[in-house]
Amino acid sequence: MAGPLRGLLFHLLHHRRLGLAVAFLAFSTSGVAAPMYQLLIGSYTSEGGSEGIYRMQFDAERGYLEPQPLQVVRTHNPSWLTLDLNRNRLYAANENGPSHPDPVGRVSAFTMAPASGQLSPLAQQITLGDEPTHLSQSRDGRYLFVSNYGSAPNPGGSLAVIPTAEDGTLSPVTQLATHKASEQHPQRQKSAHVHSAVMSPNGKRLFVSDLGADKIFVYRYDPASAERPLSPAEPPFIQLPDGSGPRHLVFSPDGSQAYATLELSAQVARFDHVDGSLVQRQLVDLAENGKVDGHSPGAIHPSPDGRFLYVSDRAEANRIMVYAIEEAGSLREIQQRASEGREPREFAIDPSGRFMLIANQKSDQLVVLQRDPDSGLLGDTVQILPMSRPSDVKFIDRTGL
């Protein structure tokens, strides 16, 4: 290492602001800067002291999240974030409802500066429903699909379709879909509770998980029908076990498989993705001996290489389940790793594949765990950072754009 650089780093090691300085001047022995990534944290502002969306910096060499945010965007309950890096935009579901300071469910849009990542408010639109808990975007960028969970039995939940203009502004809801509840669970299935809406890899189908209906509804997407781009597919839904409560659905990187968390029955369902529909092939129990109390599967994500699947198990379990994805997509459990906090609502694997960041909502913390890309196993705890009511983690990764 060159003499001046060695001297600078020696000085920094004795500086009281070591963490911030080293993060920006982290060099390997070859003189190459360590990889730095930005990420966004969504949160609940109606609980605790969170202010909204936090834009932060992550050192992928050390697995270190800078404590000081790069930016704080003040907005109510931005519990779920969706990035559109092709258009340099961010969309946030403002999970508001009757019991919150802002009682109106909304979606907020922001522009993102390509070089700095700086976020600027762009537009906001109401969702015509309570507690919008999830949102996704059509592959062509023309619509947002918003999951109004609607915790109260009346009116319950709904799926809202919001058009997006070329400049990113949001039009009023143009289509609203509701479903019939299964009424299997005496408290949580009195009405529909739409929990997520995910497009198929080819962008031609929308799969809508309704916790209150025990079904994943399937819609055709046709942008030529501008005011009503969704219509029921054939078959119009995938039936799941009574009282299972589907929550989130994800596709494998190659699109051949899909996996869904079943919140009420504490299970993961595996499907073959065939001709725009899902064929159930496997049910995996998270709870031993069928005792679902104390278990609540939430977030679900495959590894980028498609070899492993990760599921957060909340309630009393507070752990990350790790599954190997074997031939034909079948799941085999290989690890149960404590989340080091309460209510691991969401998590993300960093772009290097060497770390996992967990948003432990009810213990007010972000946790960084080591991850072995070869074995898929989660290792030591690298960092625990206080953060009020975190609910989502999204890396700003422009690789491959």
Say if residue 1's pLDDT is above 70.
Answer: no
Q: Which residues contact 86 (CB under 8 A, 6 or more apart)?
A: 141, 401
CA–CA separation, 237 and 252 (whole Å): 20
Straight-line distance from the first to the last Cα atom of the chain, in angstroms, rounded to the nearest whole number: 34
pLDDT at residue number 119: 98
pLDDT at residue number 93: 98
Cα distances (angstroms) measured from residue 202 to each of 19, 164, 238, 273, 291: 44, 20, 19, 11, 38
The pTM of the full predicted model, rounded to 2 decimals, is 0.91
In the chain, % helix, strand, coil (3-state, to 5) comes to 5, 50, 45
**DSSP assignment of 41-83, as one string?**
EEE-SSSTT--EEEEEEEETTTTEE-SS-SEEEE-S-EEEEEE
Q: Dihedrals φ, ψ of 292, to 5°?
A: -80, -20
CA–CA separation, 175 and 184 (whole Å): 28
Instruction: Output 228 or 328, whichever has higher pLDDT.
Output: 228
Q: Which two tokens stand for residue 10?
A: 């020696």
pLDDT at residue number 30: 37
CA–CA separation, 110 and 92 (whole Å): 8
pLDDT at residue number 399: 81
Find the range with the poorest average confidence among 78-92, 249-263, 264-278, 387-401.
387-401
CA–CA separation, 4 and 192 (whole Å): 65
Q: Dihedrals φ, ψ of 240, to 5°?
A: -115, 165
Within 10 angstroms of residue 263's Cβ, the number of other Cβ atoms is 24
Peptide bond into 155 cis (omega under 30): yes
pLDDT at residue number 34: 61
Say if residue 8's pLDDT is above 70.
Answer: no
pLDDT average, residue stretch 210-236:
97
Average pLDDT along the chain: 91
Among 33, 37, 82, 30, residue whose Cα is nearest residue 55: 37
Query: What whole-number percentage of the chain has pLDDT above 90?
Result: 86
pLDDT in tens, 24-83: 333 333 344 568 999 999 999 998 899 999 999 999 999 999 999 999 999 999 999 999
pLDDT in tens, 131-180: 999 999 999 999 999 999 999 999 999 999 999 999 999 999 999 999 99
Q: Which two tokens stand for residue 343?
A: 């209510």
Say if residue 23's pLDDT is above 80.
Answer: no
Within 10 angstroms of residue 32's Cβ, the number of other Cβ atoms is 8
Q: Is 364 helix (H, G, I), strand (E, B) or coil?
A: coil
Distance of CA 330 to the CA centre of its chain: 23
Identity of residue 124? Q
Strand blocks (E) in 99-214: 106-112, 119-126, 132-137, 143-148, 158-163, 175-177, 194-199, 205-210
- Dmax (CA) for the chain in angstroms is 72
CA–CA separation, 386 and 224 (whole Å): 47
Say if residue 11's pLDDT is above 50.
Answer: no
Among 109, 107, 82, residue whose Cα is nearest residue 94: 107
Identity of residue 68? Q
Identity of residue 389? R
Among 243, 164, 265, 246, residue whose Cα is nearest residue 198: 246
Q: Is 7 helix (H, G, I), strand (E, B) or coil?
A: helix
CA–CA separation, 395 and 41 (whole Å): 9
Peptide bond into 235 cis (omega under 30): yes
Say if residue 97's pLDDT is above 90.
Answer: yes
Say if residue 20's pLDDT is above 90.
Answer: no
